[in-house]
Chain A
Amino acid sequence: MINENDPSTLSTSGRLLSYNNAVKEGLKTGEQFTELMDQLINTKDPKELVDAAQALSVFELDSDYVTFPHQYNNADYYLIFMSRLLELHDHGEAITLESHEDNQHLTQQIASLGDLGVFAFISANDSTGGVYYQDQVTGETLFYLNLKRRMMRMNSSAITRLFIETYADKVEKDQLLVATDLLIAFGDALKTDFGFDVDFNLLDTNNNEFYAFQTSNLSGEIVDKLFVAAASENYMLKHDEDGAVLELAPDLTLKIASHNATGGAAWGLYIADKDQQVSWFKVLLKYPFLRDWYLENIDDLQIRSDSLVF
């Protein structure tokens, strides 16, 4: 019996032929890979960009007969994708992509953070190709990205720890905002170019964004603490039908409420301003007494992130 898949059953020339075919296949795979790389590196079309990134993120370059000694990690293509997408949206200058030749991998730095923060994607191991954008220095994962499921989710606790705590006395506030604005720009690009479902979490500047607290049963004591802290800064926390409200500026209010935007029972807060430019994150950066209150009661107040990926 001649079985093409079993070389021992083939004649010598048959074996050579089968070997040659396998090499050809391997080379073809390599060629496909370089075409995708060309596309990822050069295209000006967002659609082609995301297609290339998606294909490369699951691409298997090696075959039995042809292997490539120098290869990037699948997650590295997400980093190229992110850099390129930001470049297409005129934010190319805001980040630098670095290639580490010694062990063939990529990292990204955000210009406004200076030397702090070295970012890379790591696999989420969730079988749908999800990845986490992680700072290699602290291990904090800022967001989750999934090209296949077209979704992006900001991680509130990591953003708080990194930008509100760790970097707070190392980087100027406006530079921190440049960095988070870059993350927002990336999310916006995903939304507008590819219709991604993006949860900006505490970076969201929409007035009707409900920032849900970790606790579902906010104690009066925590609000009392805010009341006393605000009073000592000459802000009055006012009684409100559904909780409490704090007017931080003539056009900026923080509202603690026991119902979310769709009327469901949950504790959290809203930030409202005329131009919808201010997020809870920006408020935390700007008002030290609110930052202290938030961090001191973080177990209860931590803004919830998507529990499916964090």
Chain B
Amino acid sequence: MPNNNEEAHQEVIPGQAQLDSSITQKINYLQTLQAALEDHDDRQIYELIDKPRYDREVKKSRSTTKSQNLADLIADDHEQLSHYLSENLIDYLGQTYPFFYYDEVKNGEFDIYFGNWWDRRKFGKLDVLNVAFEFDETEYNKLKRAFELDALNQRYNTENIAEISAGSAQLQKLIDGQDERDHQKETLRQQLKEVSQKSTLPWDSGKVKEERQGIVNQLSQLADEDEEAINANKKIKENDEKILSLSKEDTILTYEKQSIQQRFEDFSHFESHNQSLYTDYLTNLIGKGQVKADD
């Protein structure tokens, strides 16, 4: 039945052509990517993995070409791509952010460490495919706050440390006052004895009772202070530990602050640099590509 066949063939053609073109597009896409990998053309790879962003932020083109999302084709290759692209990116970041250190915890996955000092902080992650820092929010906000406090000539934990130190001073006073309290207690007990021994006239009994109660209250107040003094040494030690960890945090924040000041002068410059990182990096790659082409 040739007619039927022909009809079927004719019906299929438009769809097939579309399919054919779609597949060709994919093949082209993958071939371009493969070639870019062979040529170590990282710029091209970045363009391929996120064309809309590339057009918008690098080419600055306003028209958004609605292209099929071919990048999904390589979704399961992201780990390896990230690993591959990290080499040049980290080199580049090293010039702008000499104080960041990267640790590849898994293939293509990088933790960021701030600084090379003792117990430096883990500061977030590096998103290689998107050329972006993903800073740990808590750590980042601490640093931001440290910059704000710098204007007031204060460190992040200055107030906290002052408060704890005052507490320790109070506790030390309590410890030092033990002899004085013992002496007071002795005197009060003696008074209590005297009051008890007084032959009370009926109309005085209320007054004596009151006097007695006053002494008993003072004694119990002193006993409370004794109790506190017993635990004071332990508390002071705990406070010392707290102060140490706060001082350490202040020291780390100071180092971080200095690192940023040396490179960016202030925090806002640092922030704006981070925001334009993608554009800056790809522009840098374009520049490099031109140098290569000129050679």
Contact = CB atoms under 8 A, between A and B. Distances in A.
Contacts of B119: 220, 223-224, 227, 239
Interface in A50-97: none
Interface string B235-256: 0000001001101100100110
Q: Is the interface of B mostly helix, strand, loop or mixed?
A: helix
Contacts of B254: 231
A228 B255 contact: no
Contacts of B241: 221
A15 to B, nearest CB: 78
B117 interface: yes
A225 B248 CA distance: 8
A244 interface: yes
B53 interface: no
A236 B119 CA distance: 12
A237 interface: yes
A228 B117 contact: no
A225 to B, nearest CB: 6
A148 interface: no
A237 B115 CA distance: 11
A237 B118 contact: yes
B248 A227 contact: yes
Contact of A239 (B117, B245, B251): B117
A238 interface: yes
Contacts, number: 38
B125 interface: no
What is the size category of the interface that chain A forms with chain B? 10 to 19
B26 interface: no
A236 B115 CA distance: 11
Given A221-B241, A231-B254, A238 B117 contact: yes
Interface string B82-120: 000000000000000000000000000000000111111
Contacts of A239: 115-120
A1 to B, nearest CB: 80
B244 A225 contact: yes
Contacts of A227: 117-119, 248, 251
A292 to B, nearest CB: 14
Nearest to B101: A239
Nearest to A224: B248
A27 B251 CA distance: 77
A236 B248 CA distance: 12
Nearest to A245: B118
A244 B248 CA distance: 15
A236 B255 contact: yes
Nearest to A236: B117
A220 B119 CA distance: 9
A226 B119 CA distance: 12
A231 B244 CA distance: 13
A244 B171 CA distance: 35
Interface string A218-251: 0011011111100100001111000010000000
A247 B244 CA distance: 22
Nearest to A227: B118
A247 to B, nearest CB: 11
A224 B245 contact: yes
A244 B37 CA distance: 40
A244 B118 contact: yes
A239 B122 CA distance: 13
A237 B254 CA distance: 13
Given A228-B251, A231-B251, A236-B255, A223 B118 contact: yes
A228 B244 CA distance: 8
Contacts of A221: 241, 244
A80 B59 CA distance: 90
A238 B116 contact: yes
A228 to B, nearest CB: 5
B244 A238 contact: no
A224 B117 contact: no
Interface string B242-285: 00110110010011000000000000000000000000000000
A237 B117 contact: yes
Interface of B: 115-120, 241, 244-245, 247-248, 251, 254-255
20 contacts: A221-B244, A223-B118, A223-B119, A224-B244, A224-B248, A225-B244, A227-B117, A227-B118, A228-B244, A228-B248, A228-B251, A231-B251, A231-B254, A236-B117, A236-B255, A237-B117, A238-B117, A239-B116, A239-B118, A239-B119
Given A224-B244, A231-B251, 7 more contacts: A220-B119, A221-B241, A227-B118, A227-B119, A228-B247, A231-B255, A238-B117
Which 10 pairs, one residue from A and one from B, show the smallest C-beta to C-beta distance?
A237-B118, A231-B251, A227-B118, A228-B247, A244-B118, A224-B248, A239-B116, A238-B116, A238-B117, A239-B120
